[in-house]
Structure 1
Amino acid sequence: MRLDLLQVDFLAPLFLVGAWTGYALYADGGRRQTLMARMRDYRLAWMRQMMVRDNRIVDTQITSLLVQNISFFASSAILLIGGLVAILGAREQAMAIIADIPLAAATPAGLWEIKVLLLALIFVYAFFKFTWSLRQFNYVAILIGATPPPEEAGSQSMTWHIERTASVASRAADHFNKAMRAYYFGLAALSWFVHPWLLVAATLWVLVVNWRREFRSHSYMLLGEAGEPVDGPQGRPDQQESP
């Protein structure tokens, strides 16, 4: 059965949502060897190094840098949401601009508003993820300040505190990663304004980009696999002899 353009226009966003949800379940579920999983080991190593430092200014500076980066993206999400709301009030002008793009598909007024609302919803989701990540990194800063003195290193209470701090930092980073993923799929959703088949192609492209960065990127290879010692084999992975 051949689908007409209007049917594809309604099915394309379902493909986007399904692909996004499926990838999130695949990448975040279980204990897969991902870039994020490997970084959890490095956060735990960071907290262990922080434990033995008398002066923990460097740790608070790292946390402050992470908070600044997240604040930038959260502010950007608010600006994008405001711009999309403004587009709803200037529908005719915006539709005229899109209509001038070669191969752009004609869109009914009601469907146009659905497209804008979908994009706004994606960035609202990203904003909430960014702000929750921001709050959790603030908690990390407090936990760093509450770390016992180095003399208590090796005690059970210190071990629990270090693991707890690393876990909160990892959860904050996970929410930041999900918010960035929303940005990627939001950019794919932007192509829906031009043509529904372009949305399908952009969604597939975003899936490939996300998968490669989390599972096959050069950074992933350099950092090693989750569970390996952080100070494991010396030298770059691409310079080691193959077995």
Structure 2
Amino acid sequence: MSNFIAPGLFILSWFAYGWLVERSPWRNRTLSHYMERERRSWIETMASRDLRMIDTSIMLGLQNGTGFFASTSLLAIGAAFTLLNSTERFLALSDHLPFMMATSASWFELKAIGLLLIYAYAFLKFGWSYRLFNYTSILIGAVPMNNAEATPEERRHAIEKCVGMNLAAAREFTRGQRAFFLAIGYLGWFLGDVLFIASSLVIYTMMAARQFASPARTALMAPPPASAKPQSPEKPD
């Protein structure tokens, strides 16, 4: 039963961290929340201009980045399968490493399957995020131009749909990236329960610091510069 304490804490912490940054009263203080405001500001600005090449370039960058992580997830899944087929070699190696906790073949395979599931979860998140960014591109094209015969209500409805799709894609991407980071902490389980807990704690601390105390968050919280008061022209003597 004690073998399940470390993975149980890992799973519980995963849900707890997700609640903290997505649903808790403190979510409005996170880096992700401030970036959501910037995403909304971007779509609002996009709707006010007729030439949207810069917006299509931004969307292309978002899609390329998401596609890269989705492809990397597939490679990681393949690596996890390779690890699953290397049970005997790993057990033979662990006998010569004093800092590794003794484990059985079935328990090692269970750990490898857990790692495989984490990467599969990440792939599903990145793949769905990529699709949602595609939808966002379509909705950007559907926002009426300034000179279009559309009522203010129709324009507002199109903008809100585009913002909502953009935010949904960003949240899915963030969840996939979170799984990638936590997979690094999960690797500590192959060396022992204590290292598993310690490595996971380091990853959670790092992610929390990025959300609540990072230079990126500070940059987004910076107040706008005070507008300079116009100086009255000097009167000639």
TM-score by structure 1 length?
A: 0.86
What does 1:134-145 correspond to in 2, within 5 Å?
A: 134-145=130-141
Candidates 19, 25, 31, aligned match of 1:25: 19
Give the CA deviation at 1:98: 4.3
Candidates 101, 107, 114, aligned match of 1:111: 107
Distance, in Å, in 2 between the alignment partners of 1:74 and 1:98 is 32
CA contact (8 A) 1:74 1:127 kept: yes
Distance, in Å, in 2 between the alignment partners of 1:80 and 1:96 is 23
Give the CA deviation at 1:167: 1.4
Q: Percent identity?
A: 33
Find out whether 1:124 has 2:112 as its counterpart: no
Distance, in Å, in 2 between the alignment partners of 1:213 and 1:21 is 18
Distance, in Å, in 2 between the alignment partners of 1:180 and 1:8 is 30
Distance, in Å, in 2 between the alignment partners of 1:187 and 1:14 is 17
Q: Counterpart amino acid of 1:172?
A: A
Distance, in Å, in 2 between the alignment partners of 1:95 and 1:183 is 25
Residue of structure 2 equivalent to 1:229: none
Find out whether 1:234 has 2:230 as its counterpart: no
CA contact (8 A) 1:133 1:172 kept: yes
Deviates more, 1:80-89 or 1:58-67: 80-89
Give the CA deviation at 1:101: 3.8
What does 1:182-221 correspond to in 2, within 5 Å?
A: 182-221=179-218
The count of aligned residue pairs is 223
Question: Segments of 4+ in structure 1 off by > 3 A?
Answer: 97-102
Give the match's secondary structure for 2:29: coil
Find out whether 1:150 has 2:132 as its counterpart: no
Residue of structure 1 equivalent to 2:10: 16
Residue of structure 2 equivalent to 1:81: 77
Highest RCO, 1 vs 2 (Cα 8 Å, sep ≥ 6): 1
CA contact (8 A) 1:99 1:105 kept: no
5+ residue gaps, structure 2 = 227-237
Find out whether 1:162 has 2:154 as its counterpart: no
Distance, in Å, in 1 between the alignment partners of 2:209 and 2:147 is 44
Give the CA deviation at 1:8: 4.4
Q: Counterpart amino acid of 2:73?
A: A
Larger radius of gyration: 2
Give the match's secondary structure for 1:32: helix
Give the match's secondary structure for 1:212: helix
Residue of structure 2 equivalent to 1:228: none
Distance, in Å, in 2 between the alignment partners of 1:40 and 1:46 is 10
5+ residue gaps, structure 1 = 1-6, 226-231, 236-243
